[in-house]
Amino acid sequence: MAPRPSSNDTGIAELQALGAQVQQAIADYAVGKTQDTNDIARRCHLLAHRAEAPEVFAERLRYQPLSICALMIAIEGGMLQALASSPEANISAEQLAQITRRHKLDIVRTLRLLSALGACDEVGLQTYRANDKTTVLASKGQIGGFRVSSVPISAITTKVEEFFRKHASGEWEEEANVPSLHTYTYGQSMYDYLRDHRERRADFDAYMEARKQEKRRRWHHCYPVLSQLGVRSDVPADSSQMAVVDVGGNQGHDLATFQESNPDFRGRLILQDLPETVEPLLVDQEKQRVFEVMPYDFFTPQPVVGATLYLLLAVLHNWEDKECRAILKNLADAMAPGSSRLLISGLLLPDVGAERRAAELDMQMWMLQQSRQRTETEIRELVRSVGLDVAKVWENGDRESIVEVRKVESALDAV
C-alpha cells in the first residue's frame, strides 16, 4: 500500500483515540459530569495539535501576532464594538465604514481574519454578524485586557533580542538589578506606567473585574467564610466584631460579591489598594456603603491590626520573592496569632505538565512585571519565611487555589 501522504508522523490510531476522547468529553458534558465546555475545547486542541503538520504548526505560531494586530485594529477603530451592538443581525462593511469612518477595505481585510479566527461570523459578501465571542471581546473589561496585556507584550517582543543579549553579557551585573522587560521597553514598571496613564489604569481596573466575571466560583464560594470564622449568619452580633480586609483588592469586586452572597454579614469590609486605584471610589457613595475604601501601599505597615481575615487575591504573582516577603511581613505583623487568617489566592503551578493557560500566565507575569506564578512548595516557603504557616489549601477549580494561612504562635523564626 502506498504510504499516506503526510508531513507529520502522527499515527491514525492516536488521532482516533484523541477523537474518542473528544466524544467522551462531549458525553460527560451532556450528562452534567463537567460544568462547562472547556474540557471539550482542551481535548479538541490536543487533537488539532496532533493532526497539524509541523510546518503548518510553525506557520500558525509565526502569524500569531497578526491576530492581535487585527483585533486591535477592530477595537481601536470601533468596528468590533459596532458589530457587537448592531441592532441588525447582519451588518455590511459599507455600513461599518459609515459608522466607524474607517476605510471599507481596511474593514474587509480586518474582519476577514477575525471571521476566520471565529471572533465574528462572515455571513455573506462583505457582510458580518456578531457571535458569542464578539460580544465578550467588545466588552469594556476584555478591551482593557488587550490594551494592558497584549499590546505591551507585543512592544516588549521587539526588545527581546537586545534585552537578553545585554543580560547575557552582564549588563546589569547583579541579578537583583535586572529590570523587568516592561521597564526596559517603557522606561517604567507596569504599575508606575499605569499610575501615569489614567486611561490605561481604567483599562486595567476594568480588566481586573472582567476576568473575575467568567468565574462561577469566587473566593467566598470556595472558602466557607462564615463557618470557618465561626460566625452564624443568624447571629449578626458575632459577625459585627469581624473585619475582612482585601489587600490589593483593586476596586472592590471581590468584597462586593462577598457582601451580595452574605447579606447578613455585619462586620467591617475594608478595601485597600493604591491611591490611583481607589480614589475614584471615594466619590461613589453606593460603593462606600458596601465597603470602607482605604488608599494603602502594601509595602508599608498594615494599618488594620488584628483583622479576622486578610485577603491577598491574585497579588503575589505580581512580585518577586523579595517583594512578596515584604508584603507578607507587613501582614504577619498585623495578624493576631490564633484569630487572624490570611487567604492567598492564585494559580499554583504544578511541578510538571502545566497546561498552556498556566504557562502563559507565568510568561505574562515575567514580561510585564519580572515576577512569576509559583508552585505550592514555593508559596509555603514564602509564607514560612515571615513566621506564618499554611493551614490548608482550598481548591477552587479553574486555575485558582486558595491558601489559608495563620500566624504561628512564636514568630521567632520570622525574618
Ligand X SMILES: C[S@@+](CC[C@H](N)C(=O)[O-])C[C@H]1O[C@@H](n2cnc3c(N)ncnc32)[C@H](O)[C@@H]1O
For binding to ligand X (CB under 6 A), which residues are involved?
191, 208, 212, 248-250, 254, 273-274, 277, 296-299, 313-315, 318
Cβ proximity to ligand X, 152 vs 248, nearer residue:
248
Cβ proximity to ligand X, 81 vs 318, nearer residue:
318
SS3 breakdown of the chain: % helix, strand, coil, rounded to 5? Answer: 55, 15, 35
Residue 348: CB minimum distance to ligand X, A: 15
Residue 203: CB minimum distance to ligand X, A: 13
Residue 412: CB minimum distance to ligand X, A: 28
Q: Is the Cβ–Cβ distance between 270 and 244 less than 8 Å?
A: yes
Cβ proximity to ligand X, 346 vs 387, nearer residue:
346
Residue 213: CB minimum distance to ligand X, A: 11
Closest-by-Cβ residue to ligand X is: 248
Residue 7: CB minimum distance to ligand X, A: 42
Residue 184: CB minimum distance to ligand X, A: 20
Contacts of 394 (CB under 8 A, 6+ apart): 222, 223, 401, 402, 403, 404
Cβ proximity to ligand X, 77 vs 252, nearer residue:
252
Cβ proximity to ligand X, 39 vs 273, nearer residue:
273
Cβ proximity to ligand X, 225 vs 315, nearer residue:
315
Q: Is the Cβ–Cβ distance between 5 and 33 less than 8 Å?
A: no
Residue 95: count of CB within 10 angstroms of its CB: 19
SS3 87: coil
Cβ proximity to ligand X, 295 vs 337, nearer residue:
295
Q: Which long-range contacts (CB under 8 A, 24 or more apart) does 90-94 make?
A: 90/123, 90/124, 90/127, 90/128, 90/129, 91/127, 91/128, 91/129, 92/126, 92/127, 92/128, 93/126, 93/127, 93/128, 94/126
CA distances, 169 to each of 177, 184, 272 (Å): 14, 16, 41
Q: What are phi and psi of 209, to 5 degrees?
A: -70, -40
Cβ proximity to ligand X, 156 vs 271, nearer residue:
271
Cα–Cα–Cα angle for 399, 318, 203, rounded to 5 degrees: 85
Q: Is the Cβ–Cβ distance between 255 and 290 less than 8 Å?
A: yes
Residue 94: CB minimum distance to ligand X, A: 41
Residue 208: CB minimum distance to ligand X, A: 5
Q: Each residue of 331-362: b (16+ CB within 10 Å) or e?
A: bbebbeeeebbbbbbbbbbeeeebeeebeebb
